[in-house]
């Protein structure tokens, strides 16, 4: 891995294992709407993309049902679900290593920014980051490339230094967003991508587990 000066991290499946809170909030929304529960395999696919994408793609809901599903999900998630979560073992070591190398660290998450900030503060992760970017609750900023661009605009990252920027994420949406912007992406297999997704999406690098990722950062 070459040397990078700016490193962006996805949140769900990359910094934290957020599966419990997300899946319980999805089930709450679907149960309230009287919709049959999907399999756990399908539920895990909700971790990464936007809620409207997931409801539309994995549950085949119409637009009215999607809006209601998002409302119900956020009703539970905002109160309880966001803290049914835990930082991955070793992630603080990885972030400390990068900070000690002088890297600027950012978060670029498809999760609403208000939830991103709450989670990072709650789990004592905010101190590692120079800027945290998320989506907007109204959906105006929701695609990963738009979120990355928003982070760049706040940090003064311009195209002439894109070769010094790395995105780290666990799903194809992170890889595709990075490629769309024109930066490299490290895909991590310890998150929630189905087998082969990161390779098919074209990740620049792939880390098999947390230790592998840390080793890559050490050698950077």
Query: What is the CATH number for 65?
Result: 1.10.150.240
Q: Quick one: 124 and 214 in the same domain?
A: yes
Q: Quick one: 13 and 63 in the same domain?
A: no
Q: Quick one: 78 and 110 in the same domain?
A: no
Look up 10 and say whether it is catalytic. Answer: yes
Task: Give residue 218's pLDDT.
Answer: 97
Ranges of H-type helices in 46-143: 51-58, 63-77, 91-100, 113-122
**Domain interval for residue 46:** 19-83
Ranges of H-type helices in the chain: 19-33, 40-45, 51-58, 63-77, 91-100, 113-122, 144-155, 172-181, 197-201, 210-218
| Span 117-155, pLDDT tens digits | 999 999 999 999 999 999 998 878 889 999 999 999 999
Q: Quick one: 79 and 94 in the same domain?
A: no
Question: What percentage of the chain exceeds 90 in pLDDT?
Answer: 90
- Report yes or no on 57 lying in a domain: yes
Would you call 46 helix, strand, or coil by DSSP?
coil
- Report yes or no on 201 lying in a domain: yes
- Report yes or no on 67 lying in a domain: yes
Task: Give residue 210's pLDDT.
Answer: 97
From residue 3, give the alpha-carbon distance in Å to each of 6, 157, 165, 220. 10, 16, 9, 5
Q: How far apart are CA 13 and CA 4, in angstroms?
A: 22
Task: Give residue 30's pLDDT.
Answer: 96
For residues 90-110, give the mean pLDDT. Answer: 97
Among 10, 12, 17, 146, the active-site one is 10
Number of domains in the chain: 2
| Span 9-35, pLDDT tens digits | 999 999 999 999 999 999 999 999 999
Least confident of 38-52, 115-129, 205-219: 38-52
Q: Quick one: 209 and 158 in the same domain?
A: yes
Q: Quick one: 25 and 72 in the same domain?
A: yes
Residue 119 token pair: 């989670």
- Report yes or no on 1 lying in a domain: no
Q: Quick one: 70 and 139 in the same domain?
A: no
Check which CATH number belongs to the domain holding 155 and give it.
Answer: 3.40.50.1000
Handedness of CA 201, 58, 209, 149 (dihedral sign): positive
Q: Quick one: 63 and 95 in the same domain?
A: no
């Amino acid at each position: 891995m070459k040397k990078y000066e700016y490193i962006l991290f996805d949140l769900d499946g990359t910094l934290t294992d957020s599966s419990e809170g997300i899946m319980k909030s999805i089930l709450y929304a679907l149960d309230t709407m009287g919709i049959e529960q999907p399999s756990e395999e399908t539920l895990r696919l909700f971790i990464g993309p936007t809620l409207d994408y997931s409801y539309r793609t994995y549950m085949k809901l119409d637009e009215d049902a999607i809006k209601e599903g998002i409302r119900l999900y956020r009703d539970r998630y905002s109160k309880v679900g966001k803290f049914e979560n835990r930082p991955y073992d070793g992630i603080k070591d990885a972030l400390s290593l990068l900070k000690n190398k002088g890297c600027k660290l950012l978060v670029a998450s498809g999760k609403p920014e208000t939830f991103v900030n709450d989670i990072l503060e709650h789990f004592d992760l905010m101190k590692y980051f120079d800027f945290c970017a998320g989506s907007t609750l109204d959906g105006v900023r929701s695609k990963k490339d738009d979120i990355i661009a928003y982070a760049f605009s706040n940090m003064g990252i311009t195209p002439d230094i894109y070769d010094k920027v790395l995105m780290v994420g666990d799903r194809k949406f992170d890889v595709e967003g990075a490629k769309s912007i024109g930066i490299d992406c490290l895909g991590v297999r310890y998150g929630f991508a189905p087998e082969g997704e990161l390779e098919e999406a074209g990740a620049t690098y792939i880390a098999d587990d947390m230790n592998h990722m840390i080793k890559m950062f050490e050698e950077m």
